Structure 1
Amino acid sequence: MPLSEPRARSAINSRTIHCQGFRREDGLWELEASLLDRRAYETSTPFRAPVPAGQPFHAMAVRIAFDSQRFIREIEVAIDAHPFRECPQAVPNFRRLLGVRFDAGFRKEVFARLGGEEGCTHVLNLLFDMAAVAVQTLGSQLRWDDRAMAERIYGLDAQGKPPVVGACKGYGR
């Protein structure tokens, strides 16, 4: 069912997030994601010329390779449009995520390694979207009736069930 007809309004900001999952020839899985913000008005920034309406205000991209156990093996981050001179200085810090696993503690682990001034808010949010795409990418490769495969991909909770069970209406017990 689509949303209802909106009230009269004016566009201010548009954020596009695009995520894709891939299977690589070397056996790793790969995610690629981008974030693009455009404003409907010219925007000033502290260090660069004003950004014309419709041009990228934020433009970030991330590529992650991970194994079948969901451990991050490679990461590449690009921050191409940003409001502050310091923003790209966070890029090398994202290597701290090598070896981190996409699992229930992912968000907490990312903040422990890249929280505060160590990271970039926009890239961090993109990473959290990518974690969901990682599960979807692996999940698309399993048969729904293959419990052993589901356990390898999702792991098991303390009750011995994949953690997606009970996570939403569709995964009800």
Structure 2
Amino acid sequence: MKVSDLRSTLVMSAREEAVFRKFDLPRDAFHPMLLSLKIGGAWSYSAEHLKCISVMQVHTNYDERTKTGNTLEVIYLLVNPETVAKEGVVNRLEKCGNQEERVLLTRPYSITIRAERIIAARISTEKRKILVHEVGEKVVMFTGPSAFYAAHEMEHLEHIEIEGLPMWAFKYETADTEPGPV
């Protein structure tokens, strides 16, 4: 690692500490959010008196005229979350942690979660800014992929291991012509 990269990493870490200190939460409460920021995806953290999950929503602003765009990511940190409602059933392939391969399982299409506190980090790739703020509401609803990730992380907090139909239960087929749209 170059010295300039190390210096930049240390400056970023100091900025994170300053921002997160403003929310009066234990430092480890922010671990899921930091993992989502730095690695991507959804994460969970559980300790004796603290449970947290992070869930990402990604939006793309795309200009058809200029053929350019930017993503806006919103990472929600939910402190001591509980599931309020689930709706719909979506079959999907998923892999977690040390599992060797993905399994077919079901997730809700939408999930509503209540939390003691909800903190959001809005990441603008266009402005290269991360705006962190506390959400006034104590309830948030996720749909589609964000709901799948939220449901998965809630299972981690409940110490539920995902189980589903293994990939070897699928059958390969071939087609003489290109299949229609999915």
TM-score relative to the length of structure 2: 0.34
TM-score relative to the length of structure 1: 0.35
| The structure with more strand, counted as a fraction of residues | 2
